[in-house]
Structure 1
Amino acid sequence: MSAVSSRELRISGLCYLAIIALGLFSEAVARGSLVVPGDAAATARNIAANPQLWRLGLMADVLTQVLDLPIIVMMWRLLRPVNEPLALTAAGLNLVQTAVLVANRVQLLAALDLLGAPAVGAAFLPGQQAALAMLAVNLHGQGLGIGLVFFGFSCIICGGLIAKSGVLPRALGWCLGVAGVAYLVNSFALLLAPKLAQMLFPAVLLPALFGELAVALWLTFKGRAHSATLR
């Protein structure tokens, strides 16, 4: 028997909502307002003029990875009785994703150091600084795509187990599974066909946002009236 209390469900839901909010801030506000796709010079000027916003985006990213951990633990405890090997596989995939994304954030610091650290900047011409900073930003995006491959598979497995569990609504399992497929499509397009990825983004990630938001809201508000127990 495995039991997950309503309090644990609620805390996990709040963590999930915080991850979504922090992710939207870092991607849409911090980086979205500073990075100009295809224009290294403009991007370099924006980052150099707004280093604190860039750092806030990075801090938001790191916090999302910290908040991943209680969700991973809760999902493993919740889904272990349904199929323990698959639940453990999903948790492992999610942990790999978290580790990859944490290491990948160094690219964002590299971009900032290239543009703001005197000792580093002195070694390059201004045009070189901008090009290298843009390279770091682009590498971060590719690293994010690699990390989300692991997360996509984790979502698909968890979605299937949720749909089978009878504890959470079956529709939530399907929503999470669709989110996983969306992440995989986006990541594989980014790695294999970058031009196609540009055409698909951000529409391809809307199902992922909807699916994860649905799960987060259910855990936060509906979960408070439930104590999830599997036998």
Structure 2
Amino acid sequence: MTEFARHARLAGLFYLGIILLGIGAEGALRGPLINWTDAAETAQAIQDRLFLFRLSMVFDIGMALLDVALAVLFFRMLRGVNDGLALTAMVFRLMQAAVIAANIMALYAAGQALPGNPLPALERHAAGYDLGLIFFAVNTLIMARLLSMPGLAPRSLCWALAAAGVVYLLGGLTRFLTPDLNTMMQPAYLIPVVAEVWLMGWLLIKGPKVAD
């Protein structure tokens, strides 16, 4: 497990960066500008704070870059546990990063639509994000399995990651199959938030000691 311990703290730092950029882009910069029931208000808010809206795209680009780096790093850390599963997890995380990166063009289109209606492009972006989460769901489920196989991580953390994977999968599928149900299940996303912050903290604090 030396390979895992050697890179655990760096993986935790990458994860911290992803979380901060994601919260910053959606929660702090972009989210407050969007009123899904009022296109005119949303257009005006984005125009008034256009730099912040554009900065949210830069944050998303940074998040995608860190996701690629973390996917490769996790593969290096976990290939000694199960090479096939580690490779599969990396591919699905890279797929998610590719979808998120391509999806930034929907945000660009929303900005280009001003002073017209930006909501259709923003809705495409939201749907694209959930599409990416379907791939990430598979990655998360595999990661839960990989971390549990040699007893690397606490069993409770592995179960939390598995639950997060299920939420991501259901969230992505309901976006396209039953949008009303997708709206109702939004509170369930608290589970992935807790699981991913827990994993990040464990990587930073406990991960480097797993070989002891």
Q: TM-score, normalised on structure 2?
A: 0.94
1:215 counterpart residue number: 199
Q: Could you list the per-position Cα deviations for residues 95-143 of structure 1 after superposition, in whole angstroms to 9, with x for gaps in the alignment?
A: 111111100101101111221xxxxxxxxxx5xx21xx21100000000
Question: Amino acid of the residue matched to residue 191 of structure 2?
Answer: P
Relative to structure 1, is the Cα distance of residues 78 and 170 closer, same or farther in structure 2, using a 3 angstrom cutoff?
farther
Q: Which sections of structure 1, spanning at least 5 residues, go unmatched? A: 116-125
Distance 2:159 2:104 in 1: 31
Is residue 153 from structure 1 mapped to residue 138 from structure 2 by the alignment? yes
1:59 counterpart residue number: 58
1:206 counterpart residue number: 190
Question: Amino acid of the residue matched to residue 91 of structure 1?
Answer: M
- Structure 1 runs (4+) deviating above 4 angstroms are none
The CA deviation at 1:173 is 1.8
Distance 1:140 1:10 in 2: 32
Q: Could you list the per-position Cα deviations for residues 77-96 of structure 1 after superposition, in whole angstroms to 9, with x for gaps in the alignment?
A: 22223322222111111111
Q: TM-score, normalised on structure 1?
A: 0.86
Identity of aligned residues (%): 37
Distance 1:213 1:196 in 2: 26
SS of 1:82's equivalent in the other structure is: coil
The structure with the larger Rg is 1
SS of 1:107's equivalent in the other structure is: helix
Contact 1:185 1:204 in 2 (8 A): no
Question: Amino acid of the residue matched to residue 171 of structure 1?
Answer: S
Relative to structure 1, is the Cα distance of residues 82 and 212 closer, same or farther in structure 2, using a 3 angstrom cutoff?
same
The CA deviation at 1:227 is 4.0
Question: Amino acid of the residue matched to residue 23 of structure 1?
Answer: G
Q: How many residues align?
A: 212
Distance 1:216 1:32 in 2: 24
SS of 2:80's equivalent in the other structure is: coil
1:107 counterpart residue number: 106
The CA deviation at 1:33 is 0.4
Relative to structure 1, is the Cα distance of residues 5 and 160 closer, same or farther in structure 2, using a 3 angstrom cutoff?
closer
Write out aligned runs for 1:111-190 (5 A). 111-115=110-114, 129-130=116-117, 133-190=118-175
User: Which piece of structure 1 moves more, 211-220 or 71-80?
Assistant: 71-80
The CA deviation at 1:169 is 2.3
Distance 1:3 1:68 in 2: 23
Q: Could you list the per-position Cα deviations for residues 139-191 of structure 1 after superposition, in whole angstroms to 9, with x for gaps in the alignment?
A: 00000111110000110011011111222222222221111111111111111
SS of 2:36's equivalent in the other structure is: coil
Relative to structure 1, is the Cα distance of residues 45 and 136 closer, same or farther in structure 2, using a 3 angstrom cutoff?
same
